[in-house]
Structure 1
């Protein structure tokens, strides 16, 4: 029998709104999974890592953490199928995301990558324009997909970077790369920004009232060949986006297919609630959790109680912490524990 670990970024309500949000949820299956447990814990984020709690957790679970930081680049390259075309493959690789930087009244902010809507032709055009500048700086640039490229930068191995979601909505001054190579990063960033400022892709996007792609974000540094641990669970994703999606390769077409046909220990990473929480759309957040109740929590609880799954773990997070809950079929027989969502508070 398999073990399922369900990872739900931003499904843990933030403390100031938690009572109202929990009161609005009708989720008996989730209540049972959270209440009738063999163990549970809530852990604060490690702010020094510059990654969100669920990203730190995933990096540790897959064996892709470097000093606690997500070292996803090499594994994402392997999953995206671009590793095979690089000879020789060596050195330090970074994930590179084309992004939109917004100018707020007093600071700069990164737009949500999930809302960028960059097409393959647009991304290819921007990539080909920028690549000579990366190469002139001594860094190979490899295309993965519209939102995910890869850069080799051996001399930037010690660069202290933040994940895009950790920097999202924050003052970018506090989240830009730091360390000995930071000045070199900023120089390359400035050159690419100037290059893209008048690019036809951005002119066409702005004509369609879409945000221009005016910068790139580098993170997830890993030595070539840094792959998930041999005993790491299989990763499946839904609505993950970005490099986490790249780590898993293909994703199911529909949420009801997400938790089916499990073989062995599996991490199910579902990012459906994240955009609503990030955008402070709490009505949408509640509606999304209700959809997950029917499409995910109830089927998983049914599989657990009928013996098709040995153990279920839930990892729920918000920006400052994550909570872990473990339950089994035996724990679900603890009828004296009334199912409740109070552990989300």
Structure 2
């Protein structure tokens, strides 16, 4: 049995706490870390790593189209249409820099999103059609592909937006579109009502995910287990069965398992939510996988955890269970051992896609 386990957000962001996992009982994870071969690779955006597991690579990945494909109960797409992610965000000034912040799950409701999306459709009817598949996942449906490089929202969260402006043939069009959308949303009664109630306003959208599929994704395993729409969209495009994460099913068939519950808490520095999520993964996944590896049921486990520190890779093979000299390695000790990257000053572009990708 072979399992590939992808966990974005497992590594707490580098520039904050030194011991975010201290005091947590993570025996299963410690066993896997000690028993396996581990390395920390250089930073690479999570979406790039996920797409490459499905055989997709290149500068312009159609992440908007793929994520929309993975949405549950979404309205059917028009044949030949193209999609951009158009996620609602809050822009605010910190000193002289305009920073972008996403909304965590539960902070917005569909009742709040609906009038904002309707207002965008009134203004941009000639450009395409906006829709909200969830309170925090919005889309723009286009009739033709956008000739532009747009940066994923995860790359921009908490950072100056001036470093991530649209590039390419249609850059001016999309920059103007985002500027006009800011005006529409900032002045909307729903955003004003949120501000009056002491909540963050939805005062902009972030467009990203432009691109076209050069070829169909390839199935990375016999089954994919995930709940996030991008992973599900990739699986559906590849024609591979997909369902919710389930350890029993994963131990019966070679699987790619994407556990996405730590990604937003890590991005938003929600330490309590992150610790609660980590304990749940320990109980539901790390402990059973350590046991399955120990008794030979699991032939190979590859754990991959993308983060701003880099990407943690751990490979555990069934033969490793006989290497008694490999002792458990505490997760908190691992976090402390990973050297933090150089401090990003506000005026310095943060690490993201390499210049050759532009």
Task: Give the structure-2-normalised TM-score.
Answer: 0.78
Tell me what 2:9 maps to: 10
CA RMSD of aligned residues (A): 3.3
Go from structure 1 to structure 2 and tell me whether the alpha carbon gap of 1:204 and 1:308 turns closer, same or farther (over 3 Å shift).
farther
User: Is the 1:303–1:309 Cα contact (8 Å) retained in structure 2?
Assistant: yes
The structure with the largest helix share of the pair is: 1
Match of 2:76 among 60, 75, 85: 85
User: Is the 1:99–1:113 Cα contact (8 Å) retained in structure 2?
Assistant: yes
Go from structure 1 to structure 2 and tell me whether the alpha carbon gap of 1:142 and 1:35 turns closer, same or farther (over 3 Å shift).
same
* Pairwise CA distance, 1:283: 6.4
* Pairwise CA distance, 1:16: 6.5
Q: Map 1:172-183 onto structure 2 (within 5 A).
A: 172-183=161-172
Go from structure 1 to structure 2 and tell me whether the alpha carbon gap of 1:180 and 1:232 turns closer, same or farther (over 3 Å shift).
farther
Q: Map 1:85-234 onto structure 2 (within 5 A).
A: 85-90=76-81, 92-114=82-104, 117-136=107-126, 138-153=127-142, 157-223=146-212, 227-231=216-220, 234=223
**SS of match in other structure, 1:315:** strand
User: Is the 2:35–2:316 Cα contact (8 Å) retained in structure 1?
Assistant: yes
User: Is the 2:85–2:208 Cα contact (8 Å) retained in structure 1?
Assistant: yes
Match of 2:247 among 252, 259, 270: 259
Tell me what 1:41 maps to: 39
Q: Structure 2: which 5+ runs fail to align?
A: 237-241, 338-358
Go from structure 1 to structure 2 and tell me whether the alpha carbon gap of 1:288 and 1:144 turns closer, same or farther (over 3 Å shift).
closer
Go from structure 1 to structure 2 and tell me whether the alpha carbon gap of 1:4 and 1:231 turns closer, same or farther (over 3 Å shift).
closer
Stretches (4+) displaced over 6 A? 16-19, 248-251
Q: Structure 1: which 5+ runs fail to align?
A: 47-51
* Pairwise CA distance, 1:243: 4.5
User: Is the 2:88–2:136 Cα contact (8 Å) retained in structure 1?
Assistant: yes
User: Is the 2:116–2:185 Cα contact (8 Å) retained in structure 1?
Assistant: yes
- Confirm whether residue 312 of structure 1 aligns to residue 301 of structure 2: yes
- Confirm whether residue 74 of structure 1 aligns to residue 53 of structure 2: no
Tell me what 2:327 maps to: 338
- Confirm whether residue 57 of structure 1 aligns to residue 49 of structure 2: yes
Tell me what 1:272 maps to: 261
User: Is the 1:313–1:327 Cα contact (8 Å) retained in structure 2?
Assistant: yes
User: Is the 1:97–1:149 Cα contact (8 Å) retained in structure 2?
Assistant: yes
Go from structure 1 to structure 2 and tell me whether the alpha carbon gap of 1:203 and 1:225 turns closer, same or farther (over 3 Å shift).
farther
* Pairwise CA distance, 1:224: 6.2
Go from structure 1 to structure 2 and tell me whether the alpha carbon gap of 1:284 and 1:135 turns closer, same or farther (over 3 Å shift).
closer
User: Is the 1:109–1:169 Cα contact (8 Å) retained in structure 2?
Assistant: yes
**SS of match in other structure, 1:118:** coil
* Pairwise CA distance, 1:28: 2.0
Tell me what 1:323 maps to: 312
User: Is the 1:101–1:215 Cα contact (8 Å) retained in structure 2?
Assistant: yes
* Pairwise CA distance, 1:300: 1.9
Name the stretch that deviates more: 320-329 or 196-205. Answer: 196-205
